[in-house]
Amino acid sequence: MANQNTEEIDVRKIVRVILEHWWWFVLGLVIFVGLSLLRYYRTTETWTTDASVVLRLQEMTGNKLDPMAFLGMSSKSETDDEVAVMSSRGLMAQSLDALDLWETSWVKDGLKWREEYRTHAFSIEEVELAKKARTSQFLVTVKPSRSGYKVKVKMGRWYRSTTKVKSLDEPIETVAGVIRVHAHRALSPDTTYRAMRTLHELKVAEYRSMLKVAQHKKDSKIIKLAITSTVPARDKALLYQLIEQYNMNAIVDKNMIASNTATFINERMAHIEKELLDAEQTVANYKRDNNLSDVETQARLLLEAGSAEQTAIAEVETQLSLVDYIDGFLRDETKRNNLIPSNIGITDTGLETAMAEYNAILLQRMRIQRTATEANPVIGQMDMQLSSMRQNIIATVGSVRASLQIQLNNLQARDDRFNQTIKGAPEKEREYVRVVRDQKIKEQLYLFLYEKREENALMLAATSMPAKIMDAPQRDVESRRPKLRNILLIGIFLGLAFPAGLLYLLVLFNDKIDDAKEYERRLKAPVLGQVVENSRNAHIAIHEGESTVSAELFRLIRTNLRYVLPQNVKSPVVLVTSCINGEGKSYVSSNTALSLAILGKKVVLVGLDIRKPMLATYFHLHTKGHLTDYLAEPEMTVDEIIVPSGEHSNLDLIPCGTVPPNPAELLQTKRLDELFEELRKRYEYIIVDTAPLALVSDTYHLDRVSDMTIFVSRYKYTPTEMIDYINQIIDQKRMHNIAGVLNAVKGTRAGYGYGYGGQQ
């Protein structure tokens, strides 16, 4: 039950604080909703333009293996690297260069700046830039007028200049140096134009920050691209260009192998063609010099008999020639980073596969190197792998050469046996067969290389794109930002949250009594009542015949006082004190005494706050009183210190008088006890205005003559810890019969439902 009550009190307190400060929330809503609307009408709307592509990398390389598996990274998708390639600086720079997007311009449209695309109002010519302007960007603003143009240049945060010119074509001296502005159309006098001269690297960084490239999902070949900016038409063109540049670069990478192969084949064909021409010329010269005619038929028969061996020898020699070329290519340190020519007719599948795998990893390294440095650990691992594979290929080439040499030796041995069969032929016929055979070998090798050159040309001409557009670049109609509804909701939220936060901090750091109910609940003594805030700034708040709120509340305190006082006490002495200065104890004691006097009771108000006496001032008395003199001088009588209050005939005052040097000792004299014995005989109530308890000990000395003590606390002034201080006094029984009064409560919060009068 205690927890429930606490929660109810907390909720009630929150509601009360909110209602008391309702105008904070109204002001917060007006300010933040206004700022939100201002931001909305000053902010240019942005849109998101997106596209999707499907990668077909295996079709480009013809490699079905994952080259990264050699690095122990087989779980990584190849698409991850392509995402990095698509968002690389180099690709963005190529795209910006192709679309000529290096310069940005704006035109003032109401409260907004609208960026222009393809319709720049003017361009900037750099005649002679300042040293600082060569390495930084600057903004040029042109404001046309009837008398000319006002040109403002801003460079960085501190460098600015304004120049008025009659014509834009003339050189303009600015903070950025000498420039010239070329208008591309007539500039309206009612409009302001801007253009930004930006370094290429800064412009690339700006567009890269707008570009978002991400894989559709893990292990997917689909890549999504998106750009968010104020110019969706430009973003659409840029996405198309990015995809096109990516495809062109990928095709260039693919064609590097084919180009190397074509170079090798052309070099070999030129060499073989020369040898073939020499062989044909040798045959022709031999026939002419030896007048051979019938021998040709016989030689043809002999050649046909040994054609199988000769064809095999030609093929093996061709393979040896290709292997020797590959070996020389691999051992050439200047070609270490070049792709190995492939598809040149090597019949050994192991060697061909090894070269294909080597080329695949080298291409992968080239792609990664575009977006990474040599210090990248992946590049280092790939270099180690390539070096190892290169040595393995060289070893494989050696074993293939040895195998081919064995085949060639066997074929030549069989050919030698065939030659023995034709030794019986005439010398001219044998020589003729030799030169013709040499011609046939060169001819077959030439035809073989010619066939491979055509195959390589077909592969070089292939235009299969590695990135196929799945969703063409298009503006997302739902992506418009900012949205008025969201802006208003944010403004309303901030308009309510900001005052609520301030109130929370106010309550959190507030250590003053600000809740009358909580005051009554925490105080371990009866509460006589609450006193409304004195808005008239008058010390006397109650007069006979008045029915103000203040008067009614003091009447309520008077009534409750009669119930709290001991019934067997005649002419009670009531001490009115407080914990600290300024809580209104003199105000409460004065008006409480006056309310009892109005009731017809004979009352005396005694001023025993002898360190800071104020009663004489509050009642506008010419004499400050002689109470302290009475306590110090035995010959003085009580009648000499009592003065009429001037407010009511039933109320008398005993002002303090001169402030003594020893107030604590003075309050402990027998004269004080004798004084109160005499006052009890003359008056029905003795109200005593005493010193604050938490500051001095004077009031403690008066407990011996009192019947009751009223502690006055001030609303939103007295620290809440003073309630614990009063409770400690009660627990320790340092004073008896204690009650409380809460002073200066707001008019709408005071009392228990009373609504008398319109004044306080």
* Separation between Cα atoms, residue 334 and residue 513, nearest integer Å: 89
Output DSSP code: residue 744. E
Dump the DSSP string for 414-455.
Answer: HHHHHHHHTTTS-HHHHHHHHHHHHHHHHHHHHHHHHHHHHH
**pLDDT, average across residues 364-372:** 72
Res 541 pLDDT > 90: no
pLDDT at 232 over 80: yes
Task: Give the single-character DSSP code of 517.
Answer: H
User: Which residue type sits at 495?
Assistant: G
Strand, helix or coil at 409?
helix
Q: Does residue 421 have a pLDDT over 80?
A: no
pLDDT given for residue 281 in this prediction: 76
Q: Taking the alpha carbons of 313, 319, 322, 326 in that order, is the dihedral positive or negative? A: negative
Nearest to 747 by CA among 540, 532, 576, 600: 532
- Please tell me the predicted confidence (pLDDT) of residue 754: 40
SS3 state at 711: strand
Distance CA 546, CA 562 (A): 21
Average pLDDT over the chain, rounded to an integer = 83
Cα angle 360, 364, 366; round to 5: 120
Closest among 505, 606, 482, 615 to 24, alpha carbons compared: 505
Q: What confidence category does residue 758 fall into, taking pLDDT thresholds of 50, 70 and 90?
A: very low
Q: Are 602 and 684 in contact (CB under 8 A)?
A: yes
What's the distance, CA 645 to chain centroid? 71
Higher-pLDDT residue of 716 and 547 is 716
673-718: per-residue pLDDT in tens?
999 999 999 999 999 999 998 888 888 889 999 999 999 999 989 9
Q: How many CB atoms lie within 10 A of CB 665?
A: 11
Please give the average per-residue pLDDT across 429-458, as a whole number.
73
Task: With cut-offs at 50, 70 and 90, classify the pLDDT of residue 719.
Answer: very high
Residue 212's CB is within 10 A of a number of other CB atoms, namely 14
In the prediction, which pLDDT does 308 show? 67
CB-based contacts of 484, cutoff 8 Å, min separation 6? 40
Given a cut of 60, whether residue 15 has pLDDT beyond it is yes
Q: Are 13 and 522 in contact (CB under 8 A)?
A: no
- Comparing 125 with 534, which gets the higher pLDDT? 125
Position 4 pLDDT exceeds 60: no
Distances (CA, A) of 508 to 14, 157, 249, 714, 746: 12, 41, 64, 19, 21
Give the pLDDT of residue 657.
Answer: 82
- In single-letter form, the type of residue at position 406 comes to I
pLDDT tens digits, 319-365 = 888 888 888 888 887 777 778 877 677 778 888 888 888 888 888 77
Percent of the chain with pLDDT over 90: 35
Q: Mean pLDDT across the stretch 181-192?
A: 90
Count the Cβ atoms, other than its own, within 10 Å of residue 208: 16
- Please tell me the predicted confidence (pLDDT) of residue 240: 93
138-144 mean pLDDT? 93
Which pLDDT belongs to residue 393?
87
Highest mean pLDDT among 18-32, 404-418, 739-753: 18-32
Residue 749: predicted pLDDT: 53
Q: Is 225 left (phi over 0), alpha (psi -120 to 50) or beta?
A: beta
Length of the chain: 760
Task: For residue 207, give both structure tokens.
Answer: 């567009």
Question: Per-residue confidence at 397, pLDDT binned at 50, 70, 90?
Answer: confident
Q: What tokens does 109 get?
A: 């449209």
Partners of 165 in beta bridges: 149
Instruction: State yes or no: pLDDT of 461 exceeds 90.
Output: no
pLDDT band at 623 (very low <50, low <70, confident <90, very high): confident
Considering just the CA atoms, what is the radius of gyration of the chain in Å?
Answer: 54
Helix (H/G/I), strand (E/B), else coil: 565: coil
pLDDT at 636 over 50: yes
Average pLDDT for 656-682: 88
Lowest mean pLDDT among 135-139, 375-379, 407-411, 565-569: 375-379
Question: Does 663 or 464 have the greater pLDDT score?
Answer: 663
Query: Which pLDDT does position 713 carry in this prediction?
Result: 95
- For residues 361 and 389, is the Cβ–Cβ distance under 8 A? yes
Amino acid 63: pLDDT: 44
Contact predicate 326/299, CB 8 Å: no
pLDDT at 699: 87
Tell me, yes or no, if the pTM score tops 0.85: no
Q: For the chain, how far is it from start to end, CA to CA, in angstroms?
A: 38
pLDDT tier for residue 69 given thresholds of 50, 70 and 90: very low
Give residue 370's pLDDT band: very low, low, confident or very high (50, 70, 90). Answer: low
Longest CA–CA span in the chain (Å) reads 179
The dihedral of CA 681, 682, 685, 688: what is its sign? Answer: negative
What values do phi and psi take at 606, rounded to 5?
-105, 130
Q: How confident is the model at residue 433 (pLDDT cuts 50, 70, 90)?
A: low
Contact predicate 525/735, CB 8 Å: no
Q: Which residue has the tokens 């064809």?
A: 311
Name residue 61's beta-bridge partners: none
Distance CA 622, CA 655 (A): 11
Whether pLDDT at 284 is above 90: no
CA distance 339 to 341: 6
Q: Token match 């409009």: residue?
A: 191
Tokens 């609504």, residue? 755
Residue 147 · residue 156 · CB < 8 Å: no
pLDDT at 432: 67
Helix (H) or strand (E) holding 259: helix 232-290
Instruction: Classify 224 as helix, strand or coil.
Output: strand
pLDDT class for 262, splitting at 50, 70, 90?
confident
Q: Which two tokens stand for residue 462?
A: 């292939």
pLDDT at position 85: 85
Of 568, 272, 229, the closest CA to residue 448 belongs to: 272
Cis peptide before 655 (omega within 30 of 0): no
Query: Please, are residues 310 and 441 in contact by the beta-carbon 8 Å criterion?
Result: yes
When mean pLDDT is compared across 48-57, 373-382, 662-671, the lowest value belongs to: 373-382
Tell me: the pLDDT tens digits for 570-601? 899 999 999 999 999 999 999 999 999 999 99
> Of the ranges 4-13, 309-318, 345-354, 751-760, which one carries the lowest mean pLDDT score?
751-760
The 222-229 sheet, strands edge to edge:
211-215, 222-229, 46-55, 467-481
Q: Is 51 exposed, middle or buried, given 0-12, 13-18 or 19+ CB atoms closer than 10 A? A: buried
At 757 the pLDDT is 39
Helices (H), 423-568: 427-461, 484-509, 516-522, 549-564
How far is it, in rounded angstroms, from Cα 351 to Cα 473?
Answer: 44
Residue 12 above 90 pLDDT? no
283 pLDDT tier (thresholds 50, 70, 90): confident
pLDDT at 66: 43
Whether the pLDDT of residue 242 is over 50: the answer is yes
Question: Which of the listed ranges 493-502, 546-555, 697-706 does the model predict with the highest average pLDDT?
Answer: 493-502
pLDDT, residue 340, reads 81
Q: How far is CA 610 from CA 575, 616, 695, 712, 719, in A?
A: 14, 12, 13, 18, 24
Domains, the chain, with CATH or none: 1-43+482-510 (no CATH), 49-100+226-292+316-415+446-476 (no CATH), 103-197 (no CATH), 516-745 (3.40.50.300)
Cα 245 to Cα 414: distance, rounded to the nearest angstrom = 58
Is beta strand 193-197 parallel, antiparallel or unpaired with respect to 138-145?
antiparallel
Task: Bin 409: left if φ > 0, else alpha if -120 < ψ < 50, else beta.
Answer: alpha
